[in-house]
Amino acid sequence: MLRDAILERLARMIGPETGVVAVSMRLIKNLQVDEKGTES
């Protein structure tokens, strides 16, 4: 699924100021992706 692919990529992003993965810091909440691939 596209949502899972997006979350997988975000899980690799490390915040430049904190050095911590953004997903681990719970900065990404309630990611929704529709059939057209539009996220919100």
pLDDT of residue 34: 81
pLDDT of residue 16: 87
pLDDT at 39 over 80: no
pLDDT of residue 3: 83
| In the chain, where the domains are located | 1-40
Q: 28: left (phi > 0), else alpha (psi -120 to 50), else beta?
A: beta
What is the per-residue pLDDT across 1-38, written as a single tens digit (0 to 9) for each?
788 888 888 888 888 888 888 788 777 778 888 878 77
The residues near 40 (Cβ < 8 Å, ≥ 6 apart) are: 32, 33, 34
pLDDT of residue 15: 84
